[in-house]
Amino acid sequence: MANPPDAAAVAGPSRHHIELRINRQRHQIEVESWVSLLDLLRDRLQLTGTKKGCDHGQCGACTVLVDGRRINACLTLAVMQNGREITTVEGLANLVTGPELHPLQQAFIDHDAFQCGYCTPGQLCSALGLMHEGQAKTPDEVRELMSGNVCRCGAYPQIARAVSEVALGARPGGMAGTASQPVVVGTVPA
Amino acid sequence: MSPFDYLWATTAQAALEQIGPGPGSTTAAGFGKFVAGGTNLLDLMKENVMRPARLVDINPLALGDIEPTREGGLRLGALARNADTAYAPEVRSRYPLLSAAILAGASPQIRNMASNGGNLLQRTRCHYFYDAGVPCNKRAPGSGCPAVSGLARQHAILGASELCIATHPSDMCVALRALDAVVLVQSPRGGRAIAFEDFHRLPGAQPDIDTTLAHDELITHIELPPPAPGFAAHSAYLKLRERASYAFALVSVAAMLDIGADGAVGAARIALGGVAHKPWRMLEAEALLVGQRPSDALFEQAAERLLHGARPQGVGPGSNAFKIPMAQRAVVRALQTALRGTAPNTGENDNAGDAP
């Protein structure tokens, strides 16, 4: 549950002080009501890894994780996410005790699962959300549960293979994630 | 997006106090809207199709639970997310039709965000409604309807009016209609229960009004009555669309059968999506099946009855005349699938030619 903005901290009904943890870092931000989480990440915090594709929830390029759940950052207001933990593509690799790519990132490289790369941050965050949900048990189910992420280069076969390899446990160590971004299947209801 | 105020409520009473006057209000304060998932409302606000002056965030309300009812049914919290509802063990085991319908809709990301209450309140995805640069009787009453002489693939074949041929886009609602769900709402005047068939309305002379929910009423729960004994073992949600996944229905069918020990149909439910301004159901079509031994000929009769009065819309390549035979055949196929068993729509049968 997001914390409602603290009444005392509200600068006005259309401006709000909010606090987010983004990639394990605390941010205190003042934001207008109408700023989407996506615009906040990209324009205010320079976290431009998350992409704006359609801005209407149709392409999945803006997929991020909120408290471990994948959502479209373009279809939610930043102020509605007050108090939440946000993970973007910048938070996937372990740069603390690493450098160590997330197994999904390495699988995308190994399977050549991108061409232009624009959809890739959203595909990766979506795939991590899929692993947390723990509902996909077969490659067909992986494909269906990745359908919210469009790739206009058409790298779908490679993307489906990369995600399946990690999410279905065929990649050694893949199910564990990284030290800084562990995967705990089923802790996040889909 | 046009500027708006953002408020939040921690109790239903506070939310109802904050919502203020409805659309059409001439007060300087403008109208307010409740927001939960926001997946449809914020999109419409970006397109200037809806311009509320105030959003009341109801996510802090304690309406997220899915609980059994004393009568043996299930009560879905209005703020339970679509994904949590689809994957809830009680929904999967006792109401697999609902799980299958939800999983056929939207994307995993959107299902993670969208609330059950909000799913009921989705606006049509008619592209003329979405385009603020063209007339639309639903968006701007009295301005006209370009769809009737335009591109109508996504539009109604049943229950349309001269003013509006839009369809309701929800998959979940088609299952809820088949399941005889009840919508529980709260307002400053107290609570009331709305039968699902009465919740959405046909466009008639007022296509700008989608539902019978008053502006100051808040959906708190959706209640499912106990299912007929055989339905969980014989249900199917068949969705036909322009691509294999993540698209709105051209036609969808929710079908459930209760098959007795003698092999005859004890009870049947059939509801159609993508064909009307609300989920379409006709009790007479279901009654044709009861007491009969299931057969393709019998299913065809029921389909024909259900499609009675269907009329194509649109012109030339935009015509949706193809939807009438498509809907008839979809009803037969959904009933055939339900007769064989239950289809969960999780993607596992993608390669089987006859899977929904």
| CATH number of residue B5's parent domain | 3.30.43.10
- Whether residues B109 and A13 touch (CB distance < 8 A) is answered with no
Q: Where exactly are the structural domains of chain A? A: 7-87, 103-176
Q: How many whole angstroms separate alpha carbon B34 and alpha carbon B217?
A: 10
Q: Total structural domains in chain B?
A: 2
Q: Is A70 on the interface with B (CB under 8 A)?
A: yes
Q: Over its length of 356 residues, how does chain B's per-residue pLDDT go in tens digits?
A: 899 999 999 999 999 999 987 776 555 567 899 999 999 999 999 999 999 999 999 999 999 999 999 999 999 999 999 999 999 999 999 999 999 999 999 999 999 999 999 999 999 999 999 999 999 999 999 999 999 999 999 999 999 999 999 999 999 999 999 999 999 999 999 999 999 999 999 999 999 999 999 999 999 999 999 998 899 999 999 999 999 999 999 999 999 999 999 999 999 999 999 999 999 999 999 999 999 999 999 999 999 999 999 999 998 999 999 999 999 999 999 999 999 998 888 775 443 344 44
CATH superfamily label, A7-87: Beta-grasp domain (3.10.20.30)
Query: Does B324 map to a domain?
Result: yes
Q: Over its length of 190 residues, how does chain A's per-residue pLDDT go in tens digits?
A: 455 555 434 556 799 999 999 999 999 999 999 999 999 999 999 999 999 999 999 999 999 999 999 999 999 999 999 999 999 999 999 888 888 999 999 999 999 999 999 999 999 999 999 999 999 999 999 999 999 999 999 999 999 999 999 999 988 888 888 877 778 787 676 5
Distance of residue A5 Cα from the nearest chain B Cα, in angstroms: 8
Closest CA to B192 of B208, B213, B166, B170: B213
Q: Is A56 on the interface with B (CB under 8 A)?
A: yes
Q: How many whole angstroms separate alpha carbon A168 and alpha carbon A134?
A: 9
Query: Does B132 map to a domain?
Result: no
Q: How many whole angstroms separate alpha carbon A36 and alpha carbon A77?
A: 4
Paired tokens of B298: 């019998």
Distance of residue B46 Cα from the nearest chain A Cα, in angstroms: 8
Q: Is A189 on the interface with B (CB under 8 A)?
A: yes
Closest CA to B277 of B340, B335, B197, B356: B197
Query: Does B165 map to a domain?
Result: no
Q: How far is CA B115 from CA A48, B74, B350, in A?
A: 29, 17, 27
Predicted TM-score (pTM) of the model is: 0.95
Paired tokens of A11: 């600068």
Give the pLDDT score at A96. Answer: 80
- Whether residues A70 and B7 touch (CB distance < 8 A) is answered with no
- Whether residues A75 and B107 touch (CB distance < 8 A) is answered with no
Query: Does B151 map to a domain?
Result: no
Cβ proximity of B161 and B313 under 8 Å: no
Domains A7-87 and A103-176 share a fold: no
Of B3, B55, B87, the CB nearest to A135: B87
Q: What are the chain B neighbours of A152 within 8 Å (beta carbons)? A: none
Q: What are the chain A neighbours of B60 within 8 Å (beta carbons)? A: 1-2, 4
Of A77, A135, A141, the CB nearest to B38: A77
Query: Does B72 map to a domain?
Result: no
- The edge-to-edge listing of strands for the beta sheet with A15-22 is A25-32, A15-22, A85-87, A63-66, A69-72
DSSP B249-284: EEEEEEEEEEE-TTSSEEEEEEEEESSSSS-B--HH
Give the pLDDT score at B26. Answer: 57
Quote the domain boundaries for residue B52. Answer: 1-59
Domain boundary among B11, B43, B59: B59
Which residue of chain B is at minimal alpha-carbon distance from A61?
B109
Backbone angles phi and psi of B148, in degrees to 5: -60, -30
Which residue of chain B is at minimal alpha-carbon distance from A62?
B109
Distance of residue B18 Cα from the nearest chain A Cα, in angstroms: 12
Query: Does B256 map to a domain?
Result: yes
* Dihedral (CA of B62, B63, B69, B72) sign: negative
Of B54, B112, B244, the CB nearest to A71: B112
Closest CA to A4 of B15, B312, B7: B7
Which of B41, B109, B111 is the best substitution to test chain A (most A C-beta atoms within 10 A)?
B109
Backbone angles phi and psi of B79, in degrees to 5: -100, 0
Give strand pairing partners of B221: B77, B184
Query: Does B272 map to a domain?
Result: yes
Which CATH number, 1.10.150.120, 3.40.50.1970, 3.40.50.970, 3.30.70.20, labels domain A103-176? 1.10.150.120
| CATH number of residue B272's parent domain | 3.30.390.50
Of A13, A138, A147, the CB nearest to B6: A13
Query: Does B326 map to a domain?
Result: yes
Instruction: Identify whether B21 is preceded by a cis peptide bond (ω within 30 of 0).
Output: no
- Neighbouring CB atoms inside 10 A of B15's CB total 22
- The H helix count followed by the E strand count for chain B is 13, 11
ipTM of the complex: 0.95
Backbone angles phi and psi of B259, in degrees to 5: -100, 120
Distance of residue B293 Cα from the nearest chain A Cα, in angstroms: 35
- Whether residues B57 and A4 touch (CB distance < 8 A) is answered with yes
Q: What is the pLDDT of residues A27-75, one digit of tens each?
A: 999 999 999 999 999 999 999 999 999 999 999 999 999 999 999 999 9
Q: How far is CA B148 from CA A1, B74, B274, in A?
A: 44, 40, 16
Q: Is A64 on the interface with B (CB under 8 A)?
A: no
